[in-house]
Amino acid sequence: MPLRMLPQLVDPPAKSATMGRPILCDSNYSKGNPRMIPIFRTKLGFMGLAFGEGGLLALTFGHPSPRAAHSSIERTLRLAIPDSVTLDLDSFSHDLAERLQVRLCRFAEGEPVDFEDFPVAMIGLTAFQARTVEACQAIPWGETVSYGDLANAIGHPGAARAVGSVMAKNRVPLIVPCHRVLGAGGNLGGYSAPQGLAMKRRLLAAEMAFRPAMVL
């Protein structure tokens, strides 16, 4: 699997004034101070973002309403972050969020947008989980790998099942493109985002990575 450094993208203005316009929602997440979480509409449904120390902490998408996106972010933070970790949610950067929103709106439009240069917070992850996340983030647009390929890439051959578990708990989908990771023989595997495998098929089809041999 190619793991390569790509040049940083220059983000043009969003195409539509109605797409990507943020709706700032109060977060009542108990592990951090109350703060604002940007929620915005895209062609992949409403998305929500949460930032922590080190970069993007959580992302959700595919929701029918801002309320649903906000609830999903809150749930992700509660379930994915260990109780022993105290979050600094005030590390939110409006500039970082705006740049990511523009890219995500372009991605939702079907443009070949790359997110490999975007910082992801590794808070609460083990060394194995962090390496898996980093390797997955490097999978290029339009390409797919297997869970076994990803395990080999991080130096843990035979750990495909453990890699699959990390992907199932991926709290920043699209940025860490777990939809590009397939089961053995091209099987779709699983997908925990809203609409499940239907959404995974949609994302892969948009990237023209939907292989004829894939088991549906």
Using alpha carbons, select from 78, 121, 75 the residue that is nearest to residue 96.
Answer: 121
CA 108 – CA 100 distance, rounded (Å): 12
136 is an active site residue: no
CA 39 – CA 91 distance, rounded (Å): 17
**Residue with tokens 């993208």, as numbered in its chain:** 9
7, 22 Cβ separation under 8 angstroms: no
Write the CB contacts of 65 (distance below 8 Å, at least 6 apart in sequence).
46
Q: Which of 25, 105, 136, 178 is catalytic?
A: 178
CA 8 – CA 97 distance, rounded (Å): 16
Give the SS3 label for residue 59. strand
165, 145 Cβ separation under 8 angstroms: no
Using alpha carbons, select from 56, 28, 24, 51 the residue that is nearest to residue 38.
Answer: 24
Active-site amino acid positions? 178
